[in-house]
Structure 1
Amino acid sequence: MPPLIQWYPGHIAKAEKALKEQLKRVDVVIEVRDARIPLASCHPKMNEWIEGRSHLLVLNRVDAIPANIKIAWQDWFVSQKQTPFFTNAQAGKGVKGLLKAAATAGSHVNDRRKKRGMLPRPVRAVVIGFPNVGKSALINRLLKKRAVASANRPGVTRQLRWIRISDQIELLDTPGILPPLLDDQDAALKLAICDDIGTASYEYQLVAAAAVEILVTQNAPLEDRYGLAYANDEQSSGMGYLKAVAQTDRYQGDLERVARQVLHDFRKGRLGEIAIETPPNQK
């Protein structure tokens, strides 16, 4: 049986090669993850990319998860010796603190330059993350203007480029970079549910069915939204629920339409604040 999620990188493979070259010039790595799936949206090569550099971890879309889950992730990352920055890049929440932290994290560069009798230079930071986690929106907020293309779909940024934020900091904007192979299908499925990989890599119906099964555990208001309760019994399944909704008068048997609607509603927050992942050992 083929994997549920299949990804065939094109420009992304090229971008990763270019990123490795540019990293030689970088002082600070700003890693952006999706707050709904902080573990699944961690690139497996991130430890390699941050080696020898300051690292700032950003959990974007914090507005999409409940406040208690945010606190739980805060505590968990601190226990892992990391300090997460929670942001809502679309609204600008948490961005000012991140910019200050980036400048501080890279200050050692100019400390060394001063000791060598050299003039200071802007701190060089790179923004890295999976497609559609909000990197471009974050950069636009840091700049306080629309400097890079930003849209609610993966793959808008296609190449690397340096952007001057201020006299103190320069940012390297990168395309969303996926692994060449998505070996972890559980993580890949979560990325698909959250729209953090391209739609060509999965079938809406299968991903929506998996999403329904997760949404049920989070008490999402499915009945209010689709007019049909989820039957919690041994025979119930996400796909079964989608098929039942498709048979209602509203959808006239169109299963694909139901699948796309469920995913769209989740991604737009119309089913409420929902975290797809919670910290390890949390229930």
Structure 2
Amino acid sequence: MPRAIKKGKEKTGEKKADTVRGEKPEPIIQWFPGHMKKARELIEENLKLVDVVVELLDARIPMASANPMLREIIRGLPRIIVLNKSDLADPRITKRWVEHFTRRGMAAIAIDAVTGKGVKGLLSLIADKARAQTERLVKKGAAPRKARVMILGIPNVGKSSLINRLAGGAKAKTADRPGVTRAKQWIRIGKDVDLLDTPGILWPRFEDMEVGLKLSFMGSINDEIYDREKTTTLLLDVLRREYPQAIMERFKLEELPADALELKELIGKKRGCLLKGGIVDMEKVERIILAEFRMGKFGTISLEVPPEDEDTAET
């Protein structure tokens, strides 16, 4: 049965967070399916085969989409930080993120794997990092060979889309849900680079529930395992505070309601999500909000800023 509220019905006391960094939400998400454990084992087994690692992050949430477990298992291999989906993120904040990583001695670049923006620059970074590594191996007596690259990232961060863009065709499976790539595969990138694709992996436990919340906003967690009502309420709270104009323009509102629940009801009326008796179909409204946010229909939005900017910009 769809959840619904009647027109004009008074809303009562739901606890809500002012922003993602505001009041802590209840622990709502823990997810580490069996294939994630196997993915980690697969990555650890094959790291010795590659020369450079590309870590793919979501440009809208670089901290939340950075898997701390990956940093543990990379073990000092040359690494390139790639901020994907930059077309969906606030460009001013993405620029600060690239500068943030660069100042810390890490190669970093913003790209859009779907349109190909920034991909040529990424190829240059891969070539430079891999060349340095393969030349060191040759000096140690190894036979010359093509450079080998591994792309790592959490589910639904755009890994398969990037691989297909680099390879010039649909070499890897793509989908708008996590868990599609389940096994390793070698893919040729031009004549000088071989790329090892691996499944996207999350980590066993989110120490900070805000991380799980942000990942649910972006679709990196299976939609069936979290509370969609709570998630959409918190997402709207964040957007009402940080990007109010984006909501007003998307749903053609002259002003924002007092709270997220009232906003959901108004969106439902605007979109015609009504059941018999003028009741708003809240489940349908929540699906619309999440789908359109993930597709970038709200405009360019970033939910995190680099740590050094936190005193001047709320995330």
TM over 0.5: yes
Structure 1 residue 244 displacement after superposition? 4.5
Give distance in 1, aligned partners of 2:260 and 2:154: 26
The answer for the alignment partner of 2:256 in structure 1 is 230
- Indicate conservation of the 8 Å contact 2:26/2:209, yes or no: no
Residues 259-268 or 166-175, more deviating? 166-175
Contact 1:205 1:239 in 2 (8 A): no
Following superposition, the deviation at residue 247 of structure 1 comes to 5.7
Matched, 1:241 2:259: no
Matched, 1:108 2:132: yes
Paired residue secondary structure (1:215):
helix
Post-superposition shift, 1:118?
4.1
Matched, 1:269 2:296: yes
Q: TM-score, normalised by structure 2?
A: 0.82
Match for 1:226: what amino acid? F
Task: Write the letter of the residue equivalent to 1:219.
Answer: P
Greater RCO structure (CA 8 Å; 6+ sep)? 2
- Cα deviations by residue, 1:137-175 (Å, 9 ceiling, x for unpaired): 101111111111112222221112222223321111111
Alpha-carbon distance, 1:268 to partner:
1.1
Bigger shift: 1-10 or 193-202?
1-10
Question: Hey, what does 1:166 align to over in structure 2?
Answer: 190
User: Given residue 305 of structure 2, which amino acid in structure 1 is its aligned partner?
Assistant: T
- Counterpart amino acid of 2:261? M
Alignment of 1:62-77 (within 5 A): 62-77=86-101
With normalisation by structure 1, the TM-score equals 0.91
Give every structure 1 segment of 4 or more consecutive aligned residues whose post-TM-superposition deviation is greater than 4 Å.
Answer: none
Query: Aligned partners of 2:30, 2:245: CA distance in 1, in Å?
Result: 28
**Matches of 1:110 and 1:78, distance apart in 2:** 23
Map of 1:212 onto structure 2: 236
Contact 1:34 1:61 in 2 (8 A): yes
User: Does 1:88 find its partner at 2:115?
Assistant: no
Moved more, 47-56 or 222-231: 222-231
Asked whether the 8 Å contact 1:220–1:272 carries over to 2, the reply is: no
Output the CA distance in 2 between the equivalents of 1:179 and 1:121: 33
The alpha-carbon deviation at position 8 of structure 1 amounts to 3.9
Query: Does the CA-based 8 Å contact 2:51-2:130 persist in structure 1?
Result: yes
- Aligned to 2:144, what secondary structure does the other structure show? coil
Q: Distance in 1 between matches of 2:141 and 2:271?
A: 76
- Alignment of 1:28 with 2:55, yes or no, is no
The two structures, once aligned, show a CA RMSD in angstroms of 2.0
Deviation at residue 68 of structure 1 after TM alignment: 1.4
Output the CA distance in 1 between the equivalents of 2:95 and 2:140.
43
Q: What is the CA–CA distance in structure 2 between the aligned matches of 1:109 and 1:277, rounded to whole Å?
A: 33
Distance 1:136 1:6 in 2: 24
Report how many aligned residue pairs link the two structures. Answer: 279
Tell me the CA shift for residue 180 of structure 1: 1.5
Q: 1:78 & 1:101 partners in 2: Cα distance?
A: 13
Aligned twin of 1:45: 69
Aligned equivalents of 1:201 and 1:28: distance in 2? 34
- Please identify, of 16-25 and 28-37, the stretch whose mean Cα deviation from structure 2 is larger: 16-25
Q: Which residue of structure 1 aligns with residue 15 of structure 2?
A: none
Cα deviation 1:189-227 (Å, max 9, x = unaligned) = 011101122212212221111110111122243234335
Which ranges in structure 2 are unaligned for 5 or more consecutive residues?
1-24, 275-279
In structure 2, the CA distance between the partners of 1:117 and 1:245, relative to structure 1 (3 Å rule), is closer
Amino acid at match of 1:241: L
SS at match of 2:272: coil
Q: Residue 102 of structure 1: SS of its match in structure 2?
A: helix
- 1:87–1:249 Cα change, 3 Å: closer
Residues 8 and 201, structure 1, Cα contact 8 Å, conserved in 2: no
CA displacement, residues 241-272 of structure 1 (integer Å, 9 cap, x when unaligned):
22454466812110111111111111111111
Shift in Å, 1:116: 4.4
Structure 1 match to 2:173: 149
Instruction: Determine the C-alpha separation between the residues in 2 that align with 1:194 and 1:208.
Output: 11
